[in-house]
Every structure is written in C-alpha cells, then in structure tokens.
C-alpha cells in the first residue's frame, strides 16, 4: 500500500505527496500530459525533441543539470506516445533546489538557438543509434503505420522521419511549450521524508505564482475498428527472419487492458508460456518468441514477436502460430496456470515498489488516469481476473482480422 | 518575495550510514552474507561460482551458464521452469570473465521452495543434448545479430587488445559454438559449479531456519582451493579501424589497462574520471554531446576485475564526425593534464559525488551491493569513509598530476568500428 496525500493549487497544478521516512533521498517527479500522440502528422518527434530542450536552461537558470548536480542530485526524463515525464533524485535536504528548477522551467523556458541546433543534432544521432544503425531497429517505424491508420500512434516517439527533426523551427517549439507546459497540464509528486505542511508550503512558494492557463483540450483522430488482416514484408540486412504479429487491444483505463496483459503473459512471457513451449520447445520453429503489450493509454497493441530458425519459412510459422492461438481460444487456462501468472505479477510489483522513484512515477501516472490511488487497486484487479474472462478476451483479441503482421526478411547474401 | 534568480541554499551531506550484513562461514574460503533488514516481503539470493569466461575454452562457460535449468532425469526444462514460475520467482544468470552469478528474486515465503527447485536442478542436471543443440542454435543467431552492431565490434576488439595474450582477451567466433561437446559441459559444470561456489548473498527478512537450511545445503558446492586470477596485464597500444560498410554511426573505444580499488590512486582517479566522463555534466558529455551534438551519449568508466582493471571511453557518433570526435576526446584528456580544474567545477563534482554516495547506500539492496564491491577486494565499508574524505579534501593539483600519470594519449588503445 502506497500512502499519499493530494492537493491542488489555484493555477490548476495537481500535487501528490508520498512520505517515506526510511530514506535520506527524495524525488520530485513532474508528469506533463503531452506525448507524441499530441503532435501533428507534419511535425512528428516534437514532444521528444522538446524534452531534450527542457534541459537547455530556463528563464532564470542558465543550466538545469549543473544546479541540481551542485545539490548532489541528478535528473532525467522520458517521452512516450502518451506522456512526458521528468524526474529529479537528490538528497532530501535540498528539496528547494529541485522545486526551484522544476518551477522555473514550467514558468518559462529560455533555450537558445544554439541549444536548439545542438539538441536537434543529438536527437538525430539518437534516431540513428536506436532506429537505423541496429539490426531490426526500424521495426516500430514500420509496424506503427501498419497497425494504426488514423490515430497518432501511427508514428513513433522519435518521429516519423529525420526531416521532421531537421525542420523544427523555434517558433513552433515556443508554441508547443505555451500550449502544453502549464500547471493545469502537469502532475507533480514529491516523495521523501517530509511533513505534509512543509511540502504544501514549499510547493506553493515555488509554483503558485505560475500563471494559470487552461488545460489544453485533446481531440485525437479516432482509429477505425480494424476489420481486415494486414501484412507487410520488408527485406533488410539482418541475420534471421523476424515476425511481429500486432493485435489491437483495449485502452488503458478499461478492465480489458488488465485481462489482455495477463493474456500476453500466458501466451508468451516466460519459458512456461504456451507459444514458447509449442513453437520453440516442441516444434523448434523459432529461436526466440515472446508476447507483450504496448501499455498505451488509447487502444494499444498486443505483440507476438520472434525470430525464425534457419530453414523455417514464414508460412510454416504462420500456420503453427494460428493453430496454437486456436487452441488458446478453444481451451480455458487451468486455475494452476492462471495462479502462476498472478504470483509473477505480484512479485514484480513488490520489487518495483521498493524504489522511491518508481513509486513517485506511478502515483503521477495513476493520477493522470484519474486517481493516484489506482496504484493500490491495480493488484486487486489483476488478482480477481478469472479463467473465464481471460478466455473471452483470448477470443476477442486473437482474431486474424484484428491483426497486423510485419515480416522482416533477411536479404540473401547479406 | 520570490526571486527566482537566487539559487536556494544547498545543505551539505554530513554523514552516511553504512550497515554491515551478517557474515557466516560456509567453509574456510566461502562466506555467506545476509542483510535481514528489509522493510517489505521481497528477497534476493545470489550464488557466486568460479565459472567465469576465463575458465574453460571459448564458449564453454557461456553455454554452461545457459543450461542450469535444462533438465534432470525426472524433470525436463519446461517442468523446471513451470515450477520456478509457480513460485513467482525471477531468476538470472550473470556471467563475467571471473564469475557466474545465479540470482533469484522472489517473495519471502517462496524462497525456501525456490532453493529446493534450484538444488534439485543443480544436483541432478543431466544436460540433455537436445537442450544443448537448442541453446547453441539460439546463441549463434544472437551472435550474428550482435555482429551487425558497431558497438559490439568495437568493444570486442577493445577487449582483445586490452587483455592482450591472456584468457581475458579471447574473442568468440561463430564456429566456437560448434566446438563444444556435452561431455565438456558436464565436466565444466562439475568442476566450476558443483565444486566452485565462492560466495552466497542473501537480502531479505527470511526466517532463520530458511537461511540456515540454504547455508547447510550449499556447503557441498564450496570451492576447495582459493580461485586464482591473472594479475599481470598490459594493453596493446595501437589504433585499429574496423570497417563496416553502410554503417551510419561509428563506435569508438579508447582506453588502457589500469587498476582496481586496491591501488593507492583509485579514489582520486574515481573523482578524475567523474570530471572527465562519468556523469551527465562531465566534460565529455558537455563537449561532444551538449556542445557539438556528435552523439546521443558518451561516457568514461573504470572497470574492475579481481587483480586489475581498465579505463575506457565509449561512444557512438555519426560516421562523418568520427575523426572530429576522436580529436575532441584527445583534447579533453590533454586539458585535464595541462590545466588545473577551476574551483566551481570541482565543487560541483564533489557535491554530485557525495549525493551519489548517499544514494548508493540507500536501502538494503543498495547497501549490500556497496558492501560486495569492497568485500571482493578484501576490504570493508571503511573504504567509503575514506572515499568521502578524499572527495572533501582533494585539490586541483592532485587531479592534474594524476591525469599526467595515468591518461597519456600515447598509452591508449584506440578502436573505431563503422
């Protein structure tokens, strides 16, 4: 059980305080309700580029990182298709420094032309390092537009193409800041050995004077219901053929999300999972296979991916895979098998929650979903899932017309 | 009145509480450490074996490490994995040059059961040929995937040159995977696992009876003689350019054989290395990423082995700026040798390091890892008090002298790939 208190400032900033008396460290986590899904299709990669620029100095502070390092702390951030999350970890005595920094960059950014030019270059190198210069690196650049036709999930957080980063203009970036980086669009969590009154006083001191701006209204293109099987094959210089079956699944807030999460564990998470046992151990068709979900806020994907053994064709795999999925759809999981999945989830959760930073991030994320206390209710939902409902969702999700298949074929004499 | 231009006052770190784990003796040579004070239901158990890659030929250690749960006479690998998963356990085998580390993470009430599954798999393992063939097949495919990565190519060549002529420098080739027999794996397992336990580590609020049981049952695996590790190393000083057609980034590795914690210069060098490339505000990051935009990331490290260590700078940069990036790396090193660090920068690094020290001792798992890092060199936690003292008292001249002593460009091995 993660204890927390919650309050809100007049300018709309939501604040969560989580007390932990056992640690000399503290965390300030700031979640902004903006991600790659909020970009326009002509300017993708902006949310992420912007995250880099947030370290380029704010109106009163020339360098974000060095001020925090001087206080014994460190900071980082990540951008997803849904959110942008910043965090600072530092000795608890220096809470003021972290709040000073985070409030100033929420107040007003002041990065220079030079900082834009450099971060543009850094992000382009990141694009190359992660997506282009690795075998199978461009999978998500290919799979997203195959699975999504309208919804902005059709591009990756890094952006659709490098040219969007190359062409980013200062004025576009400024307006992005003004629109999304305001108190009403942020959730802050302070975690550490403090008293509530003290945190209220500090938060109010640093954040209350930031002007209120109306929370941006979000209307995203709706993804039409998929009704046909989609398939794309590309040839790449890779050592082995690889496959990615992507099935549409429920949005984050629905019960179906949790059911499909367990379903993905059942079919392909561990060495005791059904696809691993059938396709790898018994039939020896693949060298690796696994199933997982994207975990996105809007309609997400359940992915089954793996690599073929030498001499095995995509057709053979395809036939065996659908056979296996049919069995999963026809036969309910046993209670024993379901218990096995549930205890793994419980164990993983206990370990994750040991970290102060994880707790702070999770509280912000669940507050974004509607209620920070969701972090304490999540286990209950997982543990209450029955074999019957799991079986229903297997039939709902694992349908061919709900599936997009990407095949990466190894170029011969590569 | 709020004035955002004024930085809040910073409070210095006054003390860090270091906590020792309990120590038990499994034998004259093999300790067991237990950190009981964990405020939740999680626990971790680690078994360290003298089964690192320097033991045995080519990929023998690596394959054996992958086969620990590959089956017994009664239970095949799937049955064993089902049993482990029934207890909610996560397990992991970490392989370094000098040890194989088998770790289990689980809820407290499952640990005894997990140990019994492990003990059964370990004691009665038969290493079925089918499992070996499968693993060889998987590893070959992974090797080919890695072989496409410039970072992999550069790192492996670097290891070869840095440990020149010792078992530590061995390069794995694809054909090595076909050159290991089942008999060799069984022999390796008997020698380096069943008679190769070097250390057991427990973190978790487990019942005394569980810990005693694990201790009692693990004794039979203890090493009989103290494992020996090579102590003399010197890197090949050369520059090697590996070409990879079509690569849009180049990997760079620059470094040399150096030392580990036991060396007198270690503490001061750790501070020097932090200034150069160990954190986000380091000189390499500030110059090569934050000023030039040549890379997504660059860092420098001091990597330790039992009797030695090496210094390494690593990065991936755009292929068109490879030489420029190397020039800048050289420039940064020479700057450390020629100009005294200014007080502001040194103060920042000192504060940052003290904050990191506080964080590294935060919580029982972190505390245990901190302890293990000194224990393996026969030292105790007083090492960290010395480190804190060193951070507080080091002067710019000492850092400059150290850079001159250890970081001469002419002593470096330089590898690029791409």
Q: What is the rounded average pLDDT of the residues A228-254?
A: 97
Chain A nearest CA to B16, separation (Å): 9
Chain A residue numbers touching B147 (CB-CB < 8 A): 239
Instruction: Output the six-digit token pair for A90.
Output: 């530092």
* pLDDT level of residue B246 (50, 70, 90 thresholds): confident
B351 and A288 within 8 Å at the Cβ level: the answer is: no
- Determine phi and psi for A78, rounding to 5 degrees: -145, 155
Contacting residues for B412 by C-beta, under 8 A, at least 6 apart: B237, B254, B255, B256
| Residue from the list A97, A288, A344 with its beta carbon closest to the beta carbon of B138 | A288
Residue A214 in contact with partner chain B when CB distance is under 8 A: no
B273-297 per-position pLDDT tens digit: 999 999 999 999 999 999 999 999 9
Chain B nearest CA to A253, separation (Å): 26
Q: A385-388: long-range contacts at Cβ-Cβ below 8 A with a sequence spacing of 24 or more?
A: A385/A258, A385/A259, A385/A262, A385/A338, A385/A342, A386/A338, A387/A332, A387/A333, A387/A334, A387/A335, A387/A338, A388/A332
Chain A nearest CA to B245, separation (Å): 11
List of E strands, A123-276: 186-192, 230-236, 242-249
The reply to whether A5-207 and A230-410 are identical in fold is yes
Q: In chain B, positions 112-151, which contact chain A (CB-CB < 8 Å)?
A: 134, 137-138, 141, 144-145, 147-150
B149 and A134 within 8 Å at the Cβ level: the answer is: yes
Helices A255-268 and A374-384, interaxial angle, to 10°?
60
Residue A228 in contact with partner chain B when CB distance is under 8 A: no
CA dist., res. B11 & res. A242, Å (int): 54
Q: What is the rounded average pLDDT of the residues A68-85?
A: 97
Give the start-to-end residue ranges of the domains of chain A: 5-207, 230-410
Rounded to an integer, what is the distance from CA B284 to the centroid of its chain? 22
A129 and B107 within 8 Å at the Cβ level: the answer is: no
| Residue from the list A22, A280, A348 with its beta carbon closest to the beta carbon of B39 | A22
| Residue from the list B42, B90, B150 with its beta carbon closest to the beta carbon of A354 | B42
B358 and A237 within 8 Å at the Cβ level: the answer is: no
Burial class (CB in 10 A: 0-12, 13-18, 19+), A147: buried
Contacting residues for B365 by C-beta, under 8 A, at least 6 apart: A354, B35, B38, B44, B203
Structural contact between residues B399 and B224, judged by C-beta atoms closer than 8 angstroms: no
Specify the pLDDT at position A380: 95
Closest CA to A217 of A179, A168, A261: A179
Q: Is the pLDDT of residue B15 over 90?
A: no
Provide the 8-state DSSP code for B171. Answer: P
Instruction: Output the six-digit token pair for B182.
Output: 């089942």
Give the start-to-end residue ranges of the domains of chain B: 22-221, 239-417
Specify the pLDDT at position A413: 58
Query: How many residue contacts between A and B have a Cβ separation below 8 Å?
Result: 201
Residue A133 in contact with partner chain B when CB distance is under 8 A: yes
* pLDDT level of residue B1 (50, 70, 90 thresholds): confident
| Residue from the list B81, B296, B365 with its beta carbon closest to the beta carbon of A270 | B81
* pLDDT level of residue B380 (50, 70, 90 thresholds): very high
List of E strands, B327-368: none
Chain A residue numbers touching B90 (CB-CB < 8 A): 344, 347-348, 351
Q: Which residue of B has its CA nearest to A22?
A: B363
B280 and A135 within 8 Å at the Cβ level: the answer is: no
Residue with tokens 């690094």: B349
Structural contact between residues B158 and A252, judged by C-beta atoms closer than 8 angstroms: no
* pLDDT level of residue A385 (50, 70, 90 thresholds): very high
Strand partners, A293: A302
Chain A nearest CA to B19, separation (Å): 14
Provide the 8-state DSSP code for A109. Answer: B
Instruction: Output the six-digit token pair for B7.
Output: 């930085």
Q: In chain A, positions 144-203, which contact chain B (CB-CB < 8 Å)?
A: none
- Determine phi and psi for A108, rounding to 5 degrees: -165, 130
Q: In chain B, positions 264-293, which contact chain A (CB-CB < 8 Å)?
A: 279-281, 289-293
Average per-residue pLDDT for chain A: 95
Contacting residues for B224 by C-beta, under 8 A, at least 6 apart: B29, B195
Q: Which residue of B has its CA nearest to A276?
A: B78
Average per-residue pLDDT for chain B: 95
Burial A307-320 (b: 16+ CB within 10 A, else e): bbbeebebeebeeb
Burial class (CB in 10 A: 0-12, 13-18, 19+), A76: middle
Q: Is the pLDDT of residue B23 over 80?
A: yes
* pLDDT level of residue A414 (50, 70, 90 thresholds): very low
| Residue from the list A104, A132, A339 with its beta carbon closest to the beta carbon of B248 | A132
Helices B322-338 and B396-406, interaxial angle, to 10°?
130
For chain B, the first-to-last Cα distance in angstroms comes to: 56
Residue B342 in contact with partner chain A when CB distance is under 8 A: no
B35-45 per-position pLDDT tens digit: 999 999 999 99
A71 and B351 within 8 Å at the Cβ level: the answer is: yes
Burial class (CB in 10 A: 0-12, 13-18, 19+), B232: exposed
State the pairing for strand pair A403-410/A230-236: parallel
Structural contact between residues B280 and B181, judged by C-beta atoms closer than 8 angstroms: no
A205 and B2 within 8 Å at the Cβ level: the answer is: yes
Residue B13 in contact with partner chain A when CB distance is under 8 A: yes
Provide the 8-state DSSP code for B307. Answer: S
Q: Which residue of A has its CA nearest to B89?
A: A344
Look up the CATH architecture of domain A5-207.
Answer: 2-Layer Sandwich (3.30)
| Residue from the list B7, B86, B247 with its beta carbon closest to the beta carbon of A133 | B247
Chain A residue numbers touching B42 (CB-CB < 8 A): 347, 350-351, 354
Residue A284 in contact with partner chain B when CB distance is under 8 A: yes
Q: What is the rounded average pLDDT of the residues B87-99?
A: 96
A160-208 per-position pLDDT tens digit: 999 999 999 989 888 888 899 999 999 999 999 999 999 999 999 999 9
Helical spans, DSSP H, in B11-128: 60-65, 77-86, 111-123
A354 and B355 within 8 Å at the Cβ level: the answer is: no
Residue B28 in contact with partner chain A when CB distance is under 8 A: no
Q: What is the rounded average pLDDT of the residues B178-185?
A: 96
Torsion of CA B360, B363, B365, B366, to 10 degrees: 0
| Residue from the list A76, A90, A340 with its beta carbon closest to the beta carbon of B86 | A340
% pLDDT > 90, chain A: 90
Q: Can you name the CATH fold of A230-410?
A: Cytochrome Bc1 Complex; Chain A, domain 1 (3.30.830)
Residue with tokens 């070869």: B160
Q: Is the pLDDT of residue B14 over 80?
A: no
Structural contact between residues B250 and B319, judged by C-beta atoms closer than 8 angstroms: yes
Chain B nearest CA to A82, separation (Å): 23
Q: Is the pLDDT of residue B400 over 70?
A: yes
Torsion of CA B129, B134, B136, B142, to 10 degrees: -170
Q: Tell me which of B177, B348, B392 to substitute to probe the interface with A (most A C-beta atoms closer than 10 Å).
A: B348
Look up the CATH architecture of domain B239-417.
Answer: 2-Layer Sandwich (3.30)
Higher pLDDT, A116 or A361: A361
Q: What is the rounded average pLDDT of the residues B197-222?
A: 98
- CATH assignment, B22-221: 3.30.830.10
Q: Is the pLDDT of residue A10 over 80?
A: yes
């Amino acid at each position: 059980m993660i204890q927390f208190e919650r309050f809100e400032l007049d300018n709309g900033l939501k604040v969560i305080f989580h007390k932990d008396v056992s640690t000399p460290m503290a965390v300030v986590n700031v979640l902004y309700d903006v991600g790659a899904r909020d970009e326009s299709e002509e300017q993708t990669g902006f949310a992420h580029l912007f995250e880099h620029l947030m370290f380029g100095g704010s109106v009163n502070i020339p360098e974000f990182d060095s001020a925090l390092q001087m206080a014994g702390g460190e900071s980082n951030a990540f951008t997803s298709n849904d959110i942008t999350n910043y965090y600072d970890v530092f000795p608890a005595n220096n809470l003021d420094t972290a709040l000073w920094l985070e409030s100033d960059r929420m107040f007003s950014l002041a990065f220079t032309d030079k900082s834009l030019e450099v971060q543009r270059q850094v992000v382009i190198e990141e694009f190359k390092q992660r997506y282009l210069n690795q075998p199978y690196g461009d999978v998500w650049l290919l799979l997203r537009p195959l699975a999504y036709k309208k919804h902005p999930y059709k591009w990756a957080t890094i952006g659709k193409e490098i040219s969007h980063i190359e062409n980013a203009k200062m004025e576009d970036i400024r307006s992005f800041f003004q629109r999304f980086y305001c108190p009403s669009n942020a959730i802050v969590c302070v975690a550490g050995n403090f008293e509530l009154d003290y945190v209220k006083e500090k938060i109010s001191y640093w954040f209350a004077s930031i002007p209120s701006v109306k929370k941006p209204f979000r209307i995203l293109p709706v993804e039409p219901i998929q009704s046909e099987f989609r398939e794309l094959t590309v040839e790449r210089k890779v050592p082995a053929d690889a496959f990615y079956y992507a099935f549409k699944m429920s949005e984050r807030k629905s019960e179906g999300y949790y059911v499909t999460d367990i379903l993905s564990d059942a079919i392909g998470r561990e060495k005791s999972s059904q696809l691993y046992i059938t396709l790898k151990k018994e039939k020896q068709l693949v060298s690796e296979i696994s199933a997982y979900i994207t975990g996105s806020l809007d309609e997400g994907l359940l992915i089954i991916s793996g690599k073929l053994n030498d001499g095995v064709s995509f057709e053979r795999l395809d036939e065996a895979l659908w056979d296996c999925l049919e069995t999963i759809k026809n036969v309910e999981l046993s209670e024993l098998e379901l218990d096995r999945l549930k205890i793994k989830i419980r164990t993983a959760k206990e370990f994750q929650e040991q970290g102060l930073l994880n707790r702070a991030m999770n509280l912000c994320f669940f507050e974004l979903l509607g209620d920070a206390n969701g972090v304490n209710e999540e286990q209950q939902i997982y543990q209450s899932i029955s074999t019957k409902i799991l079986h229903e969702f297997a039939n709902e999700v694992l349908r061919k017309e709900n599936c997009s298949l990407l095949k990466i074929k190894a170029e011969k004499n590569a | 009145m709020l004035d955002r231009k004024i930085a809040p006052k910073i409070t210095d770190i006054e003390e860090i509480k270091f906590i020792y784990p309990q120590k038990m003796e499994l034998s004259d040579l093999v300790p067991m450490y237990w950190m009981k004070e964990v405020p939740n239901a999680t626990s971790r158990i680690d078994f360290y074996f003298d089964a690192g890659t320097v033991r045995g030929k080519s990929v023998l250690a690596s394959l054996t490490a992958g086969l620990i749960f590959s089956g017994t006479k009664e239970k095949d690998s799937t049955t064993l994995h089902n049993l482990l998963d029934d207890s909610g356990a996560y397990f992991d085998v970490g392989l370094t040059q000098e040890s194989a580390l088998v770790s289990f993470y689980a809820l407290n009430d499952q640990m005894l059961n997990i140990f019994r599954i492990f003990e059964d798999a370990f004691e009665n393992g038969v290493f079925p040929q089918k499992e070996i063939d499968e693993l060889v097949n998987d590893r070959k495919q992974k090797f080919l995937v890695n072989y496409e990565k410039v970072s992999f190519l550069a790192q492996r060549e670097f290891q070869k040159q840095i440990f020149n002529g010792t078992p530590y420098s061995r390069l794995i080739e694809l054909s090595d995977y076909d050159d290991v027999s089942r008999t060799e794996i069984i022999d390796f397992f008997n020698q380096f696992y069943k008679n190769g336990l070097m250390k057991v580590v427990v973190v978790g609020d487990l019942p005394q009876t569980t810990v005693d049981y694990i201790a009692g049952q693990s004794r039979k695996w203890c090493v009989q003689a103290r494992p020996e590790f090579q102590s003399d190393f010197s890197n090949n000083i050369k520059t090697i350019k590996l070409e990879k057609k079509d690569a849009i980034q180049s990997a760079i590795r620059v470094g040399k054989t150096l030392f580990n914690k036991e060396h007198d210069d270690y503490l001061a060098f750790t501070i020097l290395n932090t200034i150069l490339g160990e954190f986000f505000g380091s000189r390499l990051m500030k110059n090569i990423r934050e000023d030039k935009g040549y890379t997504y990331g660059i860092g420098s490290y001091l990597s330790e082995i039992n009797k030695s260590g090496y210094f390494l700078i690593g990065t991936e940069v755009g292929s068109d700026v490879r030489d420029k990036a190397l020039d800048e790396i050289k420039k940064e090193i020479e700057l450390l040798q020629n100009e005294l660090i200014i007080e502001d920068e040194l103060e920042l690094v000192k504060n940052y390091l003290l904050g990191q020290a506080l964080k590294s001792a935060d919580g029982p798992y972190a505390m245990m890892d901190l302890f293990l890092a000194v224990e393996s060199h026969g030292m105790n936690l007083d090492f960290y008090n010395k480190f804190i003292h060193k951070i507080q008292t080091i002067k710019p001249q000492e850092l400059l002298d150290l850079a001159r002593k250890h970081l001469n460009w002419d002593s470096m091995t330089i590898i690029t790939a791409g």
